[in-house]
Amino acid sequence: MTEVGNKKWYVVRAVSGQESKIKDYIVSEIDRLGYSKMVEDILVPTEKIVQIRNGKKINKEKTYFPGYIMIKADLSGEVPHIIKSVTNVIGFLGETKGGEPVPLRPAEVNRMLGKVDELTLATEQINIPYVIGENIKVIDGPFNGFTGAIDKVNEEKRKLEVMVKIFGRKTPLELSYMQVEKI
């Protein structure tokens, strides 16, 4: 088998939620059948998100493009058939019935890979799940158990100003995102 410099990026459609497993299957099938020189890279773009559950921080990886896997490969010979035969692979993005898989345009590749790099470089970002006027419950600190409405959201400091009724009077509290949860 000759080393071919004709590797392009393609997008494989897969069952959503199974991307990492499917990526591993594709890698092992390609290796098992001796086509690893034809496939340069397989990516499942993910982003790290921090969720707050019961007052605890939980780090999770969320797939950025659910149901899609990026593959840089030379799709000649058997390679497309091997990839398509992997369980839970739906097919290549953009291919017509019986046609060849369509590679991504360089601009699309750069944009997607730029996004992938951006996601890996991004420090743990807690997505701002709160909006002004929303009702929340305090789950930490001296006001644990109190409920109130959000008055202000300070994204830089990751703080909320919440109006809470204490002894029948509305009192503003400054709380961090970690101290509250949505009702």
Sequence ranges of the domains in the chain: 8-121, 135-182
pLDDT of residue 124: 54
Strand-pair category, 8-14 with 68-73: antiparallel
CATH number of 135-182: 2.30.30.30
Grade residue 127 by pLDDT with cuts at 50, 70 and 90: low
Q: pLDDT per residue over 138-158, tens digit each? A: 998 889 999 999 999 888 788
The structure tokens listed for 127 are: 């997505």
Cα–Cα distance for residue pair 22/20, rounded to 1 Å: 5
Considering the chain, what is the average pLDDT of its residues? Answer: 84
Residue 114 or residue 2, greater confidence: 114
Average pLDDT over residues 16-28: 92
Class of the 8-121 domain?
alpha beta
Q: Are 43 and 63 in contact (CB under 8 A)?
A: no
